[in-house]
Amino acid sequence: MNNTILIVDDETSNLKILSFILSPEYTVYTARDGQTALGIAEESQPGLILLDIIMPGMDGFEVLRALRASDKTRQIPVVFITGLTAGGLKAKEPAPEPAGYISKPFGAADVRAKVRMHIQDPAAKGAVI
């Protein structure tokens, strides 16, 4: 089991909160943009990536496409972090689907449960939490 998580969000406060929630149990890497995230993902091969959808430059959908296009990162489960509604997500859904979603605002217990599910079973597909 790979207990490493990469959190990608352009909002520093979200990075801090999620890191605080997850760092006691997991090794956490953070990135504030898609390009940095791709480099960290290739280098560290995290067990899970939590990826914000709306970011300047590369958005989450573009990052997910790039992750799926690389042999080194193709199999890493990606869970989108989003404030978008289900309707907004459907309109923007990329060809490769994320493993799941965490809705903003998020609670610590919900984040831990979703992460635990995907770290223990990377093939798990879950509902929005």
**Higher local confidence (pLDDT), 105 or 49:** 49
Residue 126 CA from chain centroid, whole number: 13
Question: What is the overall mean pLDDT for the chain?
Answer: 86
Q: Count of alpha carbons within 13 Å of 60, Cβ hemisphere only? A: 24
Element (H, E) at 27: strand 27-31
**Domains in the chain and their CATH numbers?**
4-120 (3.40.50.2300)
Q: Count of alpha carbons within 13 Å of 101, Cβ hemisphere only? A: 19
Residues 33-62: tens digit of each pLDDT: 999 999 999 999 999 999 999 899 999 989
For residue 26, pLDDT beyond 80 = yes
Q: Name, of 35-39, 92-96, 123-127, the range with top average pLDDT.
A: 35-39
Closest C-alpha to 115, from 14, 31, 2 = 2
**Higher local confidence (pLDDT), 36 or 105:** 36
Give the per-residue pLDDT at 106.
Answer: 87
Give the per-residue pLDDT at 128.
Answer: 44
Give the per-residue pLDDT at 97.
Answer: 81
